[in-house]
Chains A and B, each alone.
Chain A
């Protein structure tokens, strides 16, 4: 019975199906807001679904010289990891007793797997542009992980334990993390790290449409490309939910809190889209310097403020 419940929650509700649908809707919000900022009309709401169904029906080309198994298997591994991260986050939000000590660390680790999968897939594709994309993605991964982890640890220090349950209880009893100075600073750092994790402008250096022509996913086509894009859409859903859980009091499905949960989610998504649309792409060395310099310093300041009780 317990196993059946877990299989259900992995595949359907809060796992794969739910995350995929909401993630694709989120990419529509992204495209629509982008279009409105540029005074365009933008695509209809079913556009990401049409894209995915179309890609599933197309031919999958494996380039000559590519490692066939690795090239095709790796996006699926990324998808499985994204599903698992989403499932842990949602189960904790719906029913805090499913939380276990250390699940914050587990989710942070699982959320890096899609990026690592992209690095492996691009390296297997035997395309020079893809390999440049992979190398940039790797540098970016080293750059943003440190400030992200420190800013999450700030909230963990305040809650007193490495589990989502204690973070959520702490926030429901003593106000959300965003209500304190250290929480606000840590949240700003985390938003920038999330931007890099999703490879959005200004940190879309691994993809760089205009110079690398798609970079790390340049050689993917057909169903494999659909999986890669679905993976990115799901990460676009998971990262705002992770930030809401850690910094902003979590998500709930009871009464009025449904509405406030949706508002929190849309606000974070729109902030990310606005950053994306008002900035040019930075160079990889600038990105690394940005994360190891100002962002690292800010996260350490947040940590010290948390120690001092602010």
Chain B
């Protein structure tokens, strides 16, 4: 295993995008940063700019307005970047699948490396999903 790959596993920086979710998943993501779960132990931090990110975390079904922006974000990210679809909506559009403004789950448009299901996923599920993404590298 190369040194950079080893380092990448030790410090995945996450950029989080809400593509039309109901905000419940976003609250659960913030839960992971609290003292009880503290993902900074594994070097995971939330970053403010896509240029700094290693993981693109997408929560929510994709709305028509969001689609060009999320595609552009994916193009702007420095490679290698891992994409994680988050929550029931991120994986399969969830209860919004028949909505008039929904253009489908995110994996129709950009390659997704991992799915974390749940409505919303528990912090334990999130951590286990992250571990699976990293061990598949």
**Chain A interface residues (CB < 8 Å from chain B):** 31, 35, 38-44, 46-47, 49-54, 56-61, 209-210, 212-214, 218-222, 225
Ranked nearest first, the 4 interchain pairs of A and B with the lowest CB-CB distance are A57-B4, A213-B48, A53-B7, A50-B10
Q: Is the CB of A57 within 8 A of B7?
A: yes
- Interface check B108, CB cutoff 8 A: no
**Chain B interface residues (CB < 8 Å from chain A):** 2-8, 10-11, 35, 38, 40-41, 43, 47-49, 51-52, 54, 76, 78-80
Which of B5, B48, B49 counts the most chain A CB atoms within 10 A?
Answer: B49
Between-chain CB contacts (< 8 Å), 28 pairs: A38-B35, A40-B38, A42-B40, A44-B41, A44-B43, A47-B10, A47-B11, A47-B43, A50-B6, A51-B11, A51-B43, A54-B4, A57-B8, A58-B78, A58-B80, A59-B78, A59-B80, A60-B78, A61-B51, A61-B76, A209-B48, A213-B49, A214-B48, A214-B49, A218-B51, A219-B49, A220-B52, A225-B51
Beyond A35-B40, A57-B3, A218-B48, 4 extra complex contacts between A and B, CB < 8 Å: A59-B79, A61-B51, A214-B47, A219-B49
CB-defined contacts of A46 to chain B, threshold 8 Å: 10
Closest to A52 in B: B7
| Closest Cβ–Cβ distance, residue A225 to chain B (whole Å) | 6
Instruction: Tell me, in angstroms, the Cα distance from A49 to B6 when the chains sit together.
Output: 12
Q: Is the CB of A54 within 8 A of B10?
A: yes
Q: Is the CB of A53 within 8 A of B78?
A: no
Instruction: Tell me, in angstroms, the Cα distance from A31 to B43 when the chains sit together.
Output: 11
- Assess A54 versus B49: contact at CB under 8 Å? Given A60-B78, A61-B78: no
CB-defined contacts of A49 to chain B, threshold 8 Å: 7
- Assess A219 versus B35: contact at CB under 8 Å? Given A43-B40, A53-B3, A59-B79: no
Q: Is the CB of B78 within 8 A of A43?
A: no
Q: Is the CB of A222 within 8 A of B11?
A: no
Q: Is the CB of A39 within 8 A of B10?
A: no
Q: Is the CB of B41 within 8 A of A41?
A: yes
CB-defined contacts of B41 to chain A, threshold 8 Å: 40-44
Closest to A48 in B: B11
CB-defined contacts of B47 to chain A, threshold 8 Å: 214
